[in-house]
Amino acid sequence: MASGLRGIRTVRDFEFKDKVVFLRLDLNAPIEDGKITDETRLRASLPTIKYIQEKGGKIVMASHLGRPKSANDKEFSLEPVAQRLSELLDAEVILAEEPLAEAIKGLTMSLKKNQMILLENLRFESGETKNSAEFAQTLAGFTQIYINDAFGASHRAHASIHALPEMVREKGIGFLIEKEIQMLDQLLDNPKRPYIAVLGGAKISDKIAVIEKLIDVVDGFIIGGAMAYTFLKALETPVGKSLVEEDRLKYSREMVERIKARNKTLLLPVDHVISTGIKDGASAKTTTNAIIPEGWMGVDIGPQTLKNYSNLLSEANTIFWNGPMGVFETPEFSKGSFGLAKAVAESKALKVVGGGDSAAAAEASGYASQMSHISTGGGASLEYLQGDKLPGLEVLRKAKTSEKMEAKV
Ligand code: AMP
């Protein structure tokens, strides 16, 4: 079995007692008016934090939050996250304003059993996104063991993900990354058949690499969201003013041919919810066939399409879902995405939801708890599935190989 975890140590492999542990987490939660609106990522981080705490490690947690322009962008402060983590962990989480090596070292020395440190938003430091060796050196100045559990950030070569672990000898992953990779590997290594990929969302261009990879792996594709209109237009079905990527029409046409040539299933919408705009209150109606009249745009899959998709999913044994079926943020246009979430949830298959907007749609539909796995990293899970190497994992794998070589000498 080709395991993406080969050569990577997990938290179980370390002796944490009294060691300063740099714990890279993905605490990038949506925050509105100082309140966390979705704490999935916080909760997903708890098992690793608790484990290291129980083993006596001195924890320095670190994460990015949003895309601040500078350290003065206080709306991107991790303060609300520190507060909420304190409650969830029943521990004191000390927010360290600046990640200065000596100051953090000093803090860790006086850390009590029920205290841990959270560094302020890593992206307040310009060196983070530049994968700066200098910034990584600062972090390495107090790090004895490096643990990455930030799956959602592991596809980015940033200082806390890549440059830092390159400098640290003792390094590995937490439980969240371990689970994410184990689940995604099940989609790549002998998945149970039939295996159906459901792809939706705004753009084909974002999903081309994963379609390319999956075409040889899955038994069928279900296409929804705005992506579907590029396919339909490529097949000469009128799509009105729906969102279409004109420069992907040729690719879509060829893709349909290639899927057919491999004798695989491709389901596209046969009816739609259409609207004159995507805002609340714009007039909306349901078509009775695949044609979208002039002046209207497709904003969701129609009821017959949902039936077709649900029927195929009910026979599947493996399902990967990435991307909503429509503009699900608007209640009138959410039936397709929520209905699809229900069909996925009710299927007996192994069902993996690929993070991002599909995770939000699954959550909002009320069916999230019935999924086998909902990835915490939309971009990272797509990159992993399309066969790209994640910098945050590769840097940990290298360690093992060089150690083995050292051991042989
Ligand atoms: P993505 O990030 O590519 O998965 O796209 C997610 C976004 O696609 C969501 O914000 C949806 O509102 C949007 N979307 C889905 N279907 C449509 C559609 N038919 N027209 C416009 N936007 C859509």
230 neighbors 244 (Cβ within 8 angstroms) = yes
Q: How many whole angstroms from 325 Cα to the centroid of ligand 1?
A: 7
Spatial distance between the Cα atoms of 82 and 42, rounded to a whole number of angstroms? 10
With 0-12 CB in 10 A as exposed, 13-18 as middle and 19+ as buried, what is 34?
exposed
What spatial distance separates the first Cα and last Cα of the chain, rounded to whole Å? 29
The residue annotated as part of the active site, out of 130, 213, 379, 397, is: 379
pLDDT for 277: 85
Nearest Cα neighbor of 255 from 211, 223, 319, 311 is 211
Burial of 60 (0-12, 13-18, 19+ CB in 10 A): buried
In sequence order, what are the residues at sequence separation of 6 or more whose Cβ sits closer than 8 angstroms to the Cβ of residue 222? 196, 197, 198, 199, 267, 309, 312, 313
In the numeric block, the tokens 């520190």 are attached to 82
Tokens of 266: 């491709």
Closest-CA residue, ligand 1 atom 2, reads: 201
Say what the pTM is.
0.90
379 given a catalytic annotation: yes
Cα of 142 from ligand 1 centre, angstroms: 43
Helix axes of 175-188 and 40-54: crossing angle, nearest 10 degrees = 120
- Please provide the size of the chain in residues: 409
DSSP, residue by residue, 226-244? THHHHHHHHTT--BTT---
Distance of alpha carbon 342 from alpha carbon 140, whole angstroms: 46
Residues with CB under 6 A from ligand 1: 201-203, 206, 225-226, 243, 278, 298-299, 323-324, 326-327, 329, 356-357
Q: How far is CA 285 from CA 37, 274, 277, 296, 334, in A?
A: 32, 6, 12, 10, 13
158-to-38, 98, 185, 330 alpha-carbon distances in Å = 24, 18, 24, 35
Residue with tokens 């004109």: 246
Token pair of 155 as six digits: 């596809």
Distance CA 381, CA 378 (A): 5
* pLDDT (0 to 100) of residue 406: 46
Catalytic residue, candidates 356, 377, 378, 392: 356
Of 205, 206, 268, 327, best ligand 1 pocket probe by most atoms within 8 Å of the beta carbon: 327
Q: State the pLDDT at residue 93.
A: 98
According to DSSP, the β-strands at 318-322 and 20-24 are: unpaired
Q: Output the tens digit of pLDDT for each of the chain's 409 residues.
A: 447 899 999 999 999 999 999 999 999 999 999 999 989 999 999 999 999 999 999 999 999 999 999 888 999 999 999 999 999 999 999 999 988 888 999 999 999 999 999 999 999 999 999 999 999 999 999 999 999 999 999 999 999 999 999 999 999 999 999 999 999 999 998 899 999 999 999 988 889 999 999 999 999 999 999 999 999 999 999 999 999 999 999 999 999 999 999 999 999 999 999 999 887 677 889 999 999 999 999 999 999 999 999 999 999 999 999 999 999 999 999 999 999 999 999 999 999 999 789 999 999 999 999 999 999 998 999 999 998 999 999 999 964 444 444 444 3
Our CA dihedral for 328, 332, 336, 337, rounded to 10 degrees, sits at 20
Query: What's the confidence (pLDDT) of residue 405?
Result: 46
Look at residue 1 in the predicted model and tell me its pLDDT.
44
Please state, in angstroms and rounded to a whole number, the distance separating the CA atoms of residues 28 and 68.
Answer: 12
Preceding peptide of 194 cis, ω within 30°: yes
Rounded Cα distance, 402 and 381, in Å: 27
Burial 72-110 (b: 16+ CB within 10 A, else e): eeeebbbbebbebbbebbebebebbeebeeeebeebbee
Residue 404 annotated to the active site: no
Predicted local distance difference test score (pLDDT) of residue 227: 95
Which candidate in 9, 19, 24, 41 is catalytic? 41
SS3 328: coil
Task: Output the six-digit token pair for 117.
Answer: 């440190």
Burial (Cβ within 10 Å: 0-12, 13-18, ≥19) of residue 250: exposed
Beta pairing partners, 93 = 116
CA distance 186 to 46: 24
